[in-house]
């Protein structure tokens, strides 16, 4: 039985979401894993948009419960940080003690992106912490995201892949995604299917 | 034994983080719960910033493992979305089947904030989804955040409190936080300590 990997990331919002998810699924299979993608199951209608949203939440949690691990696409989305849905899902899978992997298609780390958010106006405060003009401190741990996400993966021995994708391939470039698959394959001694 | 609540949120980044966390902790105790805050334990030094970050991740996960529930402050932070660390922590606690609650100090819901991000340039695409100029779809489920976060709390019967705080009280106004405490107290039949 191949291990099942839940493929978390903001590509569900893309205009060609199905195409990208299919490409990720095919690549996942080529490394001997079984992919589980949000959007794989068609969700029956609900009386309100709100109730429909709750149904999607239930289905996606069910997929995570059925999965053996997750590859989380933490590429910043609509701002300087990872999609919060993906962050939630990574935390969910870390708590279940499952296989975890993460990648980003932006090479600037969390600190660099946050400093950019402040247009570089970052100063060391009296308490020794780097702070923006609003007084808020910046995490400076050479991590791709907030320490709970990066640390949650790294402390579990999971791969963290970083790739500097072209701007028009930010959510479609699968280089770093494939690095995660390679690392997880090595880690779990998963065999490629004989047909590939 | 009072139930222990982990207090997740971006106030750890505030210049007066300790003061706000102490105020949240005191309010938590006044509702009969025992507060656990990131920052409560002093973390020993590490050879590198990166390793220090990993230590904080380990300590914070340990606190969550010891807690019976979480109140997550999902007030948008450095952009239109919740702090990704807090999103991770909410997912972590949902997966453990613990008590969950969330609040925001910005009344605009997830859809409204995302539409603002696109300066209102949102159109219904051929597939019936609302999309921004970049083609990315918007979630329109009348939720305070991405459906995994809001749905994860609501589906577990947890309270979701919304308060329109003044801009200078965005990360310090505890009105919605207190609403979560009240709801959790009712839900768990927790008694106020006799001394209060």
Check whether A194 has a pLDDT greater than 60: no
The contacts of residue A192 (CB under 8 Å, 6+ apart) are A30, A31, A32, A185
> In the predicted model, what is the mean pLDDT of residues B175-179?
98
Tell how strand B130-131 and strand A99-104 pair up.
unpaired
Please list every residue in chain B whose beta carbon sits closer than 8 Å to the beta carbon of residue A145.
84
Strand positions, DSSP E, chain A: 4-8, 34-36, 69-73, 99-104, 123-124, 130-131, 160-162
- CATH code of the domain occupying B4-109+159-188: 3.40.50.450
pLDDT in tens, A74-124: 999 999 999 999 999 999 999 999 999 999 999 999 999 999 999 999 999
For A4-107+147-188, the fitting CATH number among 3.40.50.1860, 3.40.50.450, 3.40.50.970, 3.40.50.150 is 3.40.50.450
Pick from A95, A136, A140: CB nearest B49: A140
Please list every residue in chain A whose beta carbon sits closer than 8 Å to the beta carbon of residue B85.
87, 146-149
Tell how strand A160-162 and strand A99-104 pair up.
parallel
Q: Give dist(CA B68, CA B98) in Å, integer.
A: 6
DSSP state of B137: B
pLDDT in tens, A169-183: 999 999 999 999 999
Residue B7, min C-alpha distance to chain A (Å):
15
Q: Give dist(CA A10, CA A39) in Å, integer.
A: 12
Q: Give dist(CA A72, CA B160) in Å, integer.
A: 26
Interchain contact A109–B (C-beta under 8 A) = no
Helix axes B84-95, B147-154, angle to 10 degrees: 40
pLDDT in tens, B30-71: 999 999 998 777 888 899 999 999 999 999 999 999 999 999
**A 141-180 residues inside an 8 A Cβ radius of B:** 141-143, 145-152, 154-155
**A 112-131 residues inside an 8 A Cβ radius of B:** 114, 117, 125, 131
> In the predicted model, what is the mean pLDDT of residues A11-34?
96
Q: How many CB pairs under 8 A join A and B?
A: 186
Please list every residue in chain B whose beta carbon sits closer than 8 Å to the beta carbon of residue A140.
49
Residue B73, min C-alpha distance to chain A (Å):
13
| ipTM of the prediction | 0.96
* A45, A91, A134: best to mutate for the B interface, most B CBs within 10 A: A91
Q: Judge residue B179's burial from the number of C-beta atoms within 10 Å of its C-beta, 0-12 exposed, 13-18 middle, 19 or more buried.
A: middle
Task: Read off φ and ψ for residue B33, nearest 5 degrees.
Answer: -100, 165
**Where along chain A do its domains lie?**
4-107+147-188, 110-143
The contacts of residue A109 (CB under 8 Å, 6+ apart) are A142, A143, A144
* A85, A86, A129: best to mutate for the B interface, most B CBs within 10 A: A85
Which of these, B148, B150, B142, lies nearest to B111 by C-alpha position?
A: B142
The CA-based diameter of chain A, rounded to the nearest angstrom, is: 62
DSSP state of B112: H
């Amino acid at each position: 039985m191949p291990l099942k990997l839940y493929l978390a990331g903001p590509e569900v919002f893309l205009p060609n979401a199905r195409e990208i998810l299919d490409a990720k699924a095919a690549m996942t299979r080529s490394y001997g894993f079984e992919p589980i993608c949000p959007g794989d199951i068609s969700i029956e209608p609900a009386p309100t948009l709100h109730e429909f949203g709750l149904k999607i939440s239930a289905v996606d949690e069910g997929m995570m419960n059925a999965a053996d691990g997750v590859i989380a696409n933490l590429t910043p989305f609509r701002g300087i940080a990872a999609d919060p849905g993906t962050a939630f899902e990574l935390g969910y899978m870390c708590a279940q003690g499952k296989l975890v992997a993460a990648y980003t298609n932006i090479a600037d780390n969390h600190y660099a992106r946050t400093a950019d958010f402040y247009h570089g106006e970052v100063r060391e405060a009296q308490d020794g912490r780097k702070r923006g003009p609003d007084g808020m401190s910046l995490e400076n741990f050479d991590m791709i995201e907030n320490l709970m996400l990066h640390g949650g993966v790294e402390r579990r021995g999971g791969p963290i892949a970083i790739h500097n994708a072209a701007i028009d391939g930010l959510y479609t470039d699968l280089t770093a995604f494939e690095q995660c698959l390679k690392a997880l394959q090595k880690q779990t001694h998963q065999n490629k299917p004989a047909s590939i």
